[in-house]
Structure 1
Amino acid sequence: MKKIKLSLMITASLLLVFIIVTMFNTLTLQSRQPSPKHVNGSIKEDHAINTLSKAIQFKTVSYQDRSKMDLKEFDSFISFLELSFPMVHEELELEKVNGYALVYKWKGNDSTKLPIGLTSHYDVVPVLEGTEANWEHDPFSGTIAEGKIWGRGTLDDKIGVIGVLEAAEHLLSEGYQPSRDIYLMFGHDEEIGGDKGAAMIVSTLNERGIKFDFVLDEGGAIVENMVPGVNKPVGVVGVSEKGSATAELSIEGSGGHSSQPKDRTNIGRIAGAIAKLEKNQFPADLRGPVEDLFEFVAPEMSFGMKYVFANKFIFEPVIEKILLKQPASAALIRTTIAPTIFHAGEQYNALPEKASAIVNLRLMPGDSLEEVKDFIEKTIDDEDIKVTIEGSEASGVSSIDSWHFKSIQQSAKNVYEEAVIAPYLMFAGSDAKHYDSIAENTYRFLPVQLTSEDLNRMHGTNEHISIENYLKAISFYMEVIIEANKEQ
C-alpha cells in the first residue's frame, strides 16, 4: 500500500511539475509583432490605378519556347514606363541588361552603406488556350470594375513593378533622398526561370562588385485563415524557397507479346517504384523557416493552440501529424514527391522494352540532391531501375533577427495593422534565388491581402486585384524604402 501511495505521489508531483512548466511557457510567450506606425504620405490614386490598368494591356508573355515571345510588346512596355514615371527616369540611372531586364539606380547620400534592392518581374504567363471565354473581363484589358483591376499580371507580378515605381515616383515628388543606394530591378523572364533577366542582372552587378544588404522580391502574401488558431490574417515573408528537382526512374529489358507476359513487367516495376515512393514519403521535420513561422504566430493563437506550440519540445510529433494531414501544410515540413509524367508502350498488344517516370521534387533547406537520390534508390529497392536527378537545391535561409527582416515586418505592419507578420518557407520559385549570391539576405513578399481563391487566380482564370489592396501595396513599398534607410 505504501508503495502504491508513493508511486501516486511521484506521479502527481511529476504531473504538477509538467503543468507548471507548460503553463509557464504558455503564459510567458511574448509577441514578436512590432507596433504599427503612421503611414507616410498620400498617393495619387487615379494615376496609380490607371497606370496599372494600362500596364496590364501589354502582352509581355513568357514562353518556354522564347521564339514565341513578342518582344515588340516588351519594348512598348518599357517605353510606357518611361512616359508614366517621368521623375524616376529623370533622377534615377536606368540600365537595360540584355535589352529587356531593367535596373534603376537611386543614388543615396552615403556611399559607405550597402544598397538595398527591390525586384519584381513584368513578364506574365500565357492564358490557357480555350479558357479565354471563362474570364469575366478580357485578360489583357486592364478593366477597372467593381473596385478591382482585372487582367494577367495584376497579382503576378506587374503589381510589383508598377507598385515599386509608383512609390519611388511619389517619394521623389516629395523631395525624398535615401541615405543608401537603392536598386529597382525588374526581370522580363521570371516565369521561365529568369536566366536572361534576373540572372544576368546579378552577373552584371557581381562583376562590378556590388553587394546588397538585402533584396526584396515577390513571394508570400497576407493570407486569411492561413494558420489554425489565428483569427487574424497572417502575412508571410519568404526567407527561403524550396529547391526544385526532377528525378527520372527508368528501366530497360525484353518486351515480348502481351499474350505471354512476365510476372514483373517494365511498366509494373516502374509503377511499383512510384507506389513505394508515395507510401514512404520523405520524413517530416518541423525545422528552419517553418519552425520560425510558428514561433512568430504562436503568441497570437487561441489559448489551446498557443499551449501546444509554446511547448513544441513536447508536442512536436503531434504538430507534425496535424500538419501532414493537408498537402499545403505537409509541404512545409518535408521534401515532396509528385509523379508527373509516365512513358511506356506504343502498341496495345506488345510489352514495352522501356518504361520511365518523371517525379518532381521540392527540396527542403538542408536536403541535397545526392541525399534525395539516395532516398529514392533505397525506397524503391530495385537495382534494375536507374535513377537520375537534376535541379536546384533550396536557397539559403535569410535572417529573421536582422534589421533587414525587421524593416520589412515593420513596413507591412504599418500598412496592415491587424495582420500577423511572420517568416515562412516559400514553395514556388522566384527571381530572389538569383540574388542570393550578391545579397546578405533575400526576402519574398507580395504586400497584398489574399484569399485562397485569389491564390488560385495567380496563374489561372480571372486574375485581378482590388484597388484597395493595390494602393496598400504602393504604401508598403514607400514604407520599406523609408524604414530601410533609417538603418545603419
Structure 2
Amino acid sequence: MGKVAKSVLGLLAALVLLLVVILVRTATYAPPAAVDPANVQLAPAVTFDRARAAEHLSQAIQIPTISHQDPSENQPAEWERLHAWLQTTYPSAHAAMTRELVAGHTLVYTWKGTDANLSPIVLMAHQDVVPVTKGTEKDWKHPPFAGVIAEGSVWGRGTLDNKGSLVSIFEALEALALQGFSPRRTVMLVLGHDEEANGLGAQGVAALFKSRGITAEFVLDEGMVVISDNPITRAPLAIIGVAEKGYATLVVTAQATGGHSSTPPKETGVTTLARAVTAIVEDPFPLDFQGPGAAMVRSAAAHASFPVKMAVANTWLFEPLLVSQVGATPEGAALLHTTIAPTMLKGSPKENVLPQEATAWINYRFAPGDASTEVMARAKAAVGDLPVTLSWTKTPNEASPVSSTTSESWKALAAVAGEISGAPVAPGLVLAGTDSRYLQPVAKDVYRFQPIELTMASTSQIHGTNEHLSLEGMERMVQFYARLIATTAR
C-alpha cells in the first residue's frame, strides 16, 4: 500500500473516530443542572378558591401603589391602604405570622418554624408598580387600574410585575394556614415598597437581617418565567435566574470653549464627545460561552433538536458556532457579555451655540465576572488621550454572585417549578435588576423565578400596555408557592 493510500486511510480513520466521539457525547449528554423530580419529595397541592383569588388580585390592582420618577408624586396613603387590605383579606396568614415595617412601607413577615437551627427561606415580591405612560391609557383593552376580570384573565398594571406574585404568595400562605400547616423551617416574606425606584426598602431589610445574624437558606424573587416559545427548544422552558447583571451608568464629559456656531473650531465639544462615545462602543466586551447565560443553553439543549444538542455536547469543537448563533440577536448577545448602551446626550441649549460642555450617558449591564473597576478601565483605555472625563452617576451595582444549581434548595425549587409548569427547567441570567440583589449578602443562594408562562412577544407586557395574568397562570402561581413552602419548610 502506497504512502498516499495510507494517508487517506489514516485521515478517514481519524474522521470516523471524530464522528464517533461527537455522536457518543451527544447521545450521553445530560444537562449539568438537571434535577430528577423522583429524588425530591414534593408536598401535595393545596385547596383554594381560584375565582376568589382572581378577585383578590383585582382588588390589589385597584390600589395604585405607583413609584413615580419624581418621588414627590408618590401617594404613601396607597401603600397604607394596601397594607390594611392584606390584613383584612388574609386573616389566617396574618394570625400565623408576625409583621414588621422597614424603611417606611416595606413589609417583613415571619412564620416561625419549630426548628430554630434551620435557616429560614425568604420569598420576595414588591408592592409598587410603574406608571402608565401618559397618552397610552386609550391603548389598553381595559383600564390599567380597574382590575377587570375578563377573557380568562385579570387585567391591569402590576398583574405580572409584581402584584400577581404578592397576592399568590398570600393565597398560598392562607391556604396552608387554613389546612393547619406548621413549618419546621422559618418562612419569611420581604415585600419591598420601592423596587421600581431605588430599592431602599430591600436595602433596609438586608441591614436588618445582618444585624440579627439572619442568613437565609435561599431567597426567591421575581426575575425569570416560563417561556412557551423559547428559541432553543421551540417549546416551554422554565428558566430560574441564578444571577443578575450589574448596573451602572457612565458619564462622558467633554469640555470646550463654546462660542458662536458660525465660526466653529476644528474640534468642538460635541465632536470630541462623539469620538469618545464611538471609541467606547466600538470596543465591546467579547461574547463568552460561560456563566449563567451559557448554562441556560446547556440545560435547554438536552430538550432541543439534534444539531443543537450535538453542538452543546461538543463545545470543544462547536463553541465558536454556538457563540455566533446565540449572539446573533441582542437578547442572546446580552446573555454572553457585558453590554454597552449610550442612552442620553446633552449639549448646547440652542442650535446656533457651541456648548462649553457636552455630555453623554452610557448604560452598562455587567455580566457576572466583570467588575465595575474593570469596566471603567476598559472605557478609559478606549478613549485614550481624548480630552474627556469619565465617571459613574452613582456607585455601581455589581453583578450578583451565581447561585448553586447543585444545592438542596435548587433541587427543591427546580422540582416544584418543573412539576407546576410541566416544562424542562434551566438556570438563567436576569438581565434587569431586582430587589433580591440586596439580600445576596444575607443568603446562601438567591433565585429569581415566577411560574408565569409567557411567549417571547408577550414579555413586552411587563411595564407595557395590556398587562394581564391569566386565571390558569394565577392558579399555577398559588400552587407553586404553596408547594414550595410546604416542601422546603416542612
**TM-score, normalised on structure 1?**
0.96
Counting only pairs closer than 5 Å after superposition, residues 101-180 of structure 1 correspond to structure 2 as 101-180=106-185
Corresponding position of 1:432: 436
Aligned equivalents of 1:2, 1:274: Cα separation in 2: 62
Structure 1 residue matching 2:154: 3-state secondary structure: strand
Between the aligned partners of 1:403 and 1:292, the Cα distance in structure 2 is 18
The answer to whether the Cα contact below 8 Å between 1:168 and 1:478 also exists between their aligned partners in 2 is yes
Structure-1 residue corresponding to 2:27:
27
For the residues of structure 1 that align with 2:293 and 2:399, how far apart are their CA atoms? 14
Return the letter of the residue paired with 1:180: R
Q: Would the aligned equivalents of 2:272 and 2:386 in 1 still touch at CA under 8 Å?
A: no
Shift of 1:67: 1.9
Counterpart for residue 221 of structure 2: 217
Which one of the candidate residues 360, 365, 376 is aligned to 1:362?
Answer: 365
- Within a 5 Å distance, the mapping from 1:377-416 to structure 2 comes to 377-389=380-392, 390-416=395-421
1:477 maps to which residue? 481
Give the superposition deviation at 1:251.
Answer: 1.2
Structure 1 residues 187 and 38, CA gap change in structure 2 (3 angstroms): closer
Whole-angstrom distance in 2 between the partners of 1:452 and 1:39: 31
Which one of the candidate residues 434, 444, 453 is aligned to 1:449?
453
Alpha-carbon displacement from aligned partner over 1:238-297 (angstroms, at most 9, x marks no partner): 111000011111111223433333333221121122223333311111111122212211
Work out whether 1:201 is the aligned partner of 2:202. Answer: no
2:338 paired with 1:335: yes
SS at match of 1:190: coil
Per the alignment, residue 421 of structure 1 pairs with 425
Q: Please tell me whether the aligned partners of residues 230 and 455 of structure 2 are also in contact (alpha carbons under 8 angstroms).
A: no
Helix, strand or coil for the counterpart of 1:406? helix
CA–CA separation in structure 2 for the residues paired with 1:268 and 1:10:
61
Q: Which amino acid aligns with 2:452?
A: V
Deviations 1:6-41 (A, max 9, x none): 332232222122111111110001352534768523
Point out where structure 1 has 5 or more consecutive residues left out of the alignment. Answer: none
> What SS does the aligned partner of 1:440 have?
coil
Q: Does 1:87 align with 2:92?
A: yes
The structural deviation recorded for 1:155 is: 0.3
Cα shift at 1:356? 1.4
Q: Deviation per CA, 1:305-337: give whole Å up to 9, x if none.
A: 110111112111111111221000000001001
* Identity over aligned pairs, percent: 36
- 1:289 paired residue number: 292
- CA shift at 1:458, angstroms? 1.0
Q: Report deviation, 1:2.
A: 3.3
2:325 to 308, 313, 322: 322
Q: Contact between 1:92 and 1:105, CA under 8 Å: does it hold in 2? A: yes
Q: CA separation in 2, counterparts of 1:27 and 1:166?
A: 44
Paired AA for residue 268 in structure 1 = T
Q: Is the 8 A contact 2:43 2:487 kept in 1?
A: no
User: What amino acid sits opposite 2:257 in the alignment?
Assistant: S
The letter of the residue matching 1:388 is: S
- The one-letter code of the counterpart of 1:17 is L
Range that drifts further, 38-47 or 451-460 = 38-47
1:5 matched to 2:5: yes
What SS does the corresponding residue of 2:377 show, helix, strand or coil? helix
- Residue in 2 that maps onto 1:16: 16
Deviation per residue, 1:204-253 (Å, 9 max, x gap): 1221111110010011000122232x132111111110000111111112
Give the letter aligned to residue 256 of structure 2.
G
Aligned residues: 483
Assess if the C-alpha contact under 8 Å between 2:121 and 2:489 holds in 1: no
Q: Which amino acid aligns with 1:263?
A: K
Q: Which residue identity does 2:109 align to in structure 1?
A: Y
Kindly indicate whether the alpha-carbon contact (under 8 Å) linking 2:224 and 2:241 is maintained by their aligned counterparts in 1: yes
Q: Is the 8 A contact 1:153 1:159 kept in 2?
A: yes
Please state whether the residue corresponding to 2:444 is helix, strand or coil.
Answer: strand
- C-alpha contact (below 8 Å) 1:39/1:475 kept by paired residues: no
Deviations 1:52-81 (A, max 9, x none): 110100010112322211111111110000
SS at 2:450's partner residue? strand
Report the Cα distance in structure 1 between the residues aligned to 2:171 and 2:243, rounded to whole angstroms.
Answer: 27
Whether contact under 8 Å (1:232, 1:420) holds in the other structure is: no
Shift of 1:435: 0.7
| 2:273 equivalent to 1:259 | no
1:70 to 2:75 alignment = yes
